Structures are given as structure tokens and as C-alpha cells.
Structure 1
Amino acid sequence: MKPKHILSIALCCACLLPMQAQTTREEMKANPAQTGGVYLAYPTDIPAQTPAPKGYKPFYISHYGRHGSRYLIGDRDYKWVLDLFAAAHRSAALTPLGEDVYGRLQQVWAEAEGHGGDLSPLGVRQHRGIAERMFRSFPEVFKGTPVISARSTVVLRCAMSMAAFGDRLKELNPGLRISYEASQKYMDYLNYHSEESNRFTSLTDGPCAEEYRKFKEERTRPDRLVASLFSDADFIRKQVNPGELMWGLYWIASDMQNMETPLSFYDLFEPDELFALWETFNYHFYIGNANHADGHNLVIDNAKPLLKNILDSADEAIANGGTAATLRFGHDGNVIPLVALMQIENFGVFTADADSLYTLWTDFKVVPMAGNLQLIFFRNTKKGQEDDILVKILHNEREVHIPVATDRFPYYRWADVEAFYRQVLGE
């Protein structure tokens, strides 16, 4: 099938794709953990796989995964909030609820100190689990002593995620030959961002910066929260920045699901307050990593080197054999533009309407902690039909649609898929 015909079919099919990125206020209120956005711990309700068509066997897997659950980016994200509550405690400026929160923050700090930006124990477990499910679902891929390429960005939590993933595979089959690399050499496709896209996404002086500032200001309403925690108006006036404190507590509350300490801070917020903070965070991530209409594809084009590597690696594995899997580990800011560029479900939706964005695009549905994309390749086992290859795409281990014609979803002819994506790359 010629690429231009594939494109026309794709455009016709696009309107039929499920709206997986949508969400509602009711959904968010029912599960406050989702208001953490990309801090959502990896969902564990993994659906069953659709069996491959008769006569087809899996032989190769191409993967890109975000690092697993982590602590907040820096120790400072915990410490300044703790220090503020400590000062208020010494000044007898806390309400009973504030004193309780101070005690909780001390417990959080006991675990978090020194771990800013690190992969958490849950993050290790997540990648071990994803690796095991991959192995169990497609055992033919991992038989014998095949080669596996594992590469991560140079950020430690990504390398540790790669190690956790590979360790579990090796436990399941010690004969696997896994090569691990975390090198600047591969950053041009594992974590590429153009200078033009960086200028667009800047929330300091980019074209969306002022609109975003107003959007955030409208949705940050901290007075009720601050009054519930501090009893001394003079202390509040002199030492508390209400908006910053609300956001600081929101980050800690959002990340507790990724830690081992069994505490929650969601009781501090009203449901509408949490939703408003998440809505702001969601818009922040949409501007920075997805397909904002004013960006004219600048941001999602950052994923083109990664998509090209996926296609080229698959071609090599198909032609030469011996490679069971290509594993890549990076960040949320890589998964988001990749699924948009690949037009998976409606994750590439483009809009400039901040107010309605949450009804169209949802950060935690695109890339929770340990979010991943897998392309599973299947070969026809009939003699003389070895070039008949199918592929299915898993997003967070769920079978997904792409705008390429097929009569046996979730399976697509690889020749059609590659032709479509080569056209996306302009090749």
C-alpha cells in the first residue's frame, strides 16, 4: 500500500479512535491520587492481551519507558515546607491541624532526606513488574540466549529503572545477553529537545507564559488552606507565602503515593481545590510536552529522532535476527511527544483552549510513573511467509489504536505501520 493511501485511510479512521485521554471532575474527585498528574503511581489493573492471529508468533519487542516512581526532584521541595512549619511550631502559630501536619512532615522527611530525584523502592518494583509481565506475555521472544539492548538517559533514576527491568528479565532467563548503557551518546534520541521548542515551552518568557500565569493565579486559592493550618495572622503576614505553600503541600501530597511512608495529605484540600491545582499542572505539561496548537508541532517533533530509532532498530532486528528487545528508558517529557507524534488514540490532540483542555488531554493517562510504550512484533510461521509481520502497540500495557487501517485490531501489518511513520518523519 502506498504511503499516500495509508495517510488518507488514517485521516478517515482518526475520528473513530477512543477518547482515552478524556477525564471528568467526578473521576478526579473519586480518586484523588490522579490529581497528582504525572506523579500518579503506575496503575496495576493491567488488562489481558488479545491472542495473536493463528500462525503468528512474537519475536521482537521495541520499548520506551519512563523511569519509575521517584521522590520529589530535590530535597529542597520537602525541606522548605518542613522548615516553615517548624518555625510556626516554635512560635506557637499552628492550629491543631497544623501541628498534626508538622508531625507528618517530619515522618516524610525521615524517608525523603537525601533522596531528592531518586528512584523510590516502588519505582524498582514497578519496572520489575512490567518486565515480568512482558516476559510472561511473550515468552517466545526471550527463549534461549538472545541479545537485548538496554539504554537509558544519563539521569540516575532512569539508569536504575533500566537495571531493575533488566535484572528481572535475567532472573527469569539467566541466558539473556543484556547490554546496559547510560551515555550521552544516545541522548540525541532518548531525550531530544530543540532550541526552538525550548523557547516555545518556556513559562518564563515563552508565548504561553503570560496566559499560563493568569491561568495558575485564577486556580490557586490558598486562603482557606492557610487559615486551617496557621493560627497567628502576624506569622502568616510576615512568613507565609500562601500560594507557594499551597503548591508546596500539593507536591508533597501528590508524591506520597510513590513513597514507602504510609501517610496522606489529601485531607488538607477540598476536592475542588485539588482539581484546580491538577488542572493547572495538566496545562503546564501540555504546553511543555504535548501538541499545543500555537506550537505548530514544534514540541512533538522532538520525538522524531526517537521514532526514527524505533523504526530503524526494528528494521535491523527483522533483517538480522538475534535481537529479542530494544529497551529504552527516559522521562515523561519524552513519552508525551512520542505518543502524540505517533497519533496513538487522541493523545496528539491540539488545542489552545486552556479551560477545556482537561476534557481532551490528561497527563496521568499519557504518562504515569513508569509509563511506557511497547511495540510487539509477530512473524508468520508458515514456510515462505516469514516476511509477513504484524505489530501491536501497547501503551502502559494496554492495546491501543493508531490511524492505520487494519481488519484485526489490535494487530497491524508492519509494512503499513512503518510506511505511515516514515511519512510522519518526512522520509
Structure 2
Amino acid sequence: MAKFTFNLPDIGEGIAEAEIVAWHVRVGDMVEEDQQIADMMTDKATVEMESPVAGKVLEIAGEVGDTIPIGSMLVTIEIEGAIPDDVAEDNAKAAEPEAAPAPKDDEVEERIEVENPDANDADDAHEADPEPAPNQPVEKSAPKTEAKVLASPAVRKRAQDLGIDLAQVKPAEDGRVRHGDLDQFLSYNAGGGYRPAGGQRQDEQVRVIGMRRRIAESMAASKRAIPHFTYVDEIDVTRLEELRADLNATRGAKPKLTMLPLLITAICKTLPDFPMINARYDDEAGIVTRSGGVHLGMATQTDAGLMVPVIRNAESRNVWQLASEIVRLAEAARSGKASSQELSGSTLTLTSLGPMGGIASTPVINRPEVAIIAPNKVVERPVFRDGKVAAAKLMNLSISCDHRVVDGWDAASYVQAIKRLLETPALLFVD
């Protein structure tokens, strides 16, 4: 017998640590080679960790919600015979950081040193968190169901141990319940215990872990460190909506256009005159990096929480290409298949609630960016035109900015420039 310590490998992007968001094994369990043992999260990307060897689990690194450094012990496994040389070599190399990718030639950025009067107040995203309340005890029994549920034996055993009725779990894809579906169910049901339908709902304590904790930390850091201000203006999108309807009616095989691709086109066409908007602020170094390309973050609601996939070089895409990329990235984020590269590197973020957009919003900046744009819902209201009352489709557009980098005049002027394009939509297609 030999003991094999499986170290947490470098998951990518030179990260220093990762959070345990799910365990699929316990101490004493027998595992097979390539069996999923844990889910680790870093920078909004979840990675499934698989055992490189078969054997008995002797030790695990911590509990769900704990953060462990790259290169440290994840699990210790007792195996029969000696540790294979290739496994030992890979495990030793796993903690070596990857070299940072070189910047692309077409992504020229301007760096501006900025006096930082509140550098001492800059938030540290890794401040010690207060100890979360423990989960409530898990009941080990669940009502039986007659419904046939597709799931592997390992998933069925884990559900039984947790007291989860598989018929109550909604699978993410192809009708088969997987470990990730159980994790999602647990995140919305304290302790994972089954609650009978129609019964009185009890108080519940839910540990804030994984995506929810990342969102909480990011939003708190943004509000603490950034002096926000929000500007809102009303835009008449009557002609824009008419143009959109005409384009959709004659699009052929092209994707259907929503308002967003047209708005993104206007955002990109006006940004060259307002470089302070498309930027990232390193408040510790006191440097603003003005991006040469528009890497637009699209705030996307998923079952796990808010994610921000990124449209790379949005300024180089036409409206139909933007429409396709919006759909692709949203589907990747909601299915959990978005890569870490697709979830990082944004220089400006767009957030939209669609039909629920309300009349105005005050979005929180996606730090370290310096601005975030939020279109609100389109409503039809009477307006005066040439002394007569006419029906118009109106939309409020909100922008929140970092007042350390962006002045109010700049934000208002930028929205006015977007407004001119959207109210004269033919200009969107003029170079």
C-alpha cells in the first residue's frame, strides 16, 4: 500500500487559490481512476476535479466553502502498489503556474497614471469573512416517488445519503440528473433536506458559497471602493424599433435581432470619443488602462447567479454577428460551459433585465471597470411632436460611472452621443 497526495493543480490564469463548492467523495470511500471527486471554483468558473488513481480516500482538504491554495493537498488516497511515475510527475508539475499570455497586437491599450487620494481605502477582496452559520442537519429519509428518474448509481447513492428525492431535482440537460444538479438543488434548499409539498416552510440557514459568495464579495468590494454616480436619459426608439422590425422581416438565415445588438453597435461607435469610459482602474497602482478594443461584458442571469460572459472586440462585429454571440455566450453561461477566458477581461459591462427593465436603474460597476450601462424597458407613451400628440416608443438608458475616473459631464455627453445614433438609426450602419 502507498499513500498518494493529490495536489490541487493550477486550474488556469495563474490563480493562487480555489474554493471547494462540492465534494463527491467522503473519507473512507473507494474511488476509481478518473472518478469525479470535487468541484472547485475560481473567478466564476467551476472545474471538476477527477482522481488520477484508484484507491481509498484517507483525507480531504476541507469543507464546502473553504478556499485552498494551488499546489496544496486536495485529497490523500491509499492505493495498492507504488504510485505510477507519470502520475507522480504530473502531480508534482500541477502546481507550477502557467505563463501569462502575451497581449495581442490589435489590442493596444493606453495606460494613464492617476493620483489616488483614497489608495489606503482600496478594498482587499480577500478580507477575512465572518464565520457563516452552519447548515441545518440533513434528514436522511425522503418520500418515495413513482416517477422514473435517469441518474447514475453514484448520483442515486449521494441523493439517498442527503435525503433528496430525485424526482424533485430538475436536470440541467438531457433529462439525466448529475452531481451538478444535486449541488444546484442543495444551494436552494437548506442542508439539502426534502420538504414535503404543502408543509409549513421553516426558517433555513444557507451557507453562502461558490458563485453566490463570489457575487457577494464582488458587489461589496465595488460599492466600498468605487464612488458611484448614475446618469439616466430618455431615448425615443420609435424609428429604431421600426428598423429592427424591417431587418428581422428580411433577415433570411441571419439571427433575429433584439434591441441589444443595435445598442451595442451604438455603444462601440461612440466609445472612441470617450476613451475614459472603456477602461479599467487599478486603484492600488493608481493607473487607468484605456482599452483599444471593446470587450463587452454581458451580465447574464443563471440558476447559479449572475455571470458576465464577454464579447471580445465587439467593435469589430456587425449586428447579426453580435446577435449570434449574445445567444452563444448566454447559453454557455447558463449551462455552466462558459470557459474562464469567456468570463474574464471585460472593459465595459452591459446589464439588461429585458421586459422587466423598469423605468430606471442604478447598476453596480463590475470592478475594476469604470462604467456599466443599463437599458430599461421600452414603453409606448404619448409625446408632443410639432404641437401634436403622437405615440412614441421610449426607453430610459442608465449609466453608472466611477467618479474617480469619469466626470459627470463625460458620462452625460457619452449617453447623448448614443442617443443621437439610436434616434437616427441609419447612422448605425454608416462608417
Same fold (TM over 0.5): no
Q: What TM-score comes out, normalization by structure 1 length? A: 0.28
Larger radius of gyration: 2
Answer 1 or 2: which has greater helix percent. 1
**Taking CA–CA contacts closer than 8 Å with sequence separation of 6 or more, which of the two structures ends up with the larger relative contact order?**
1
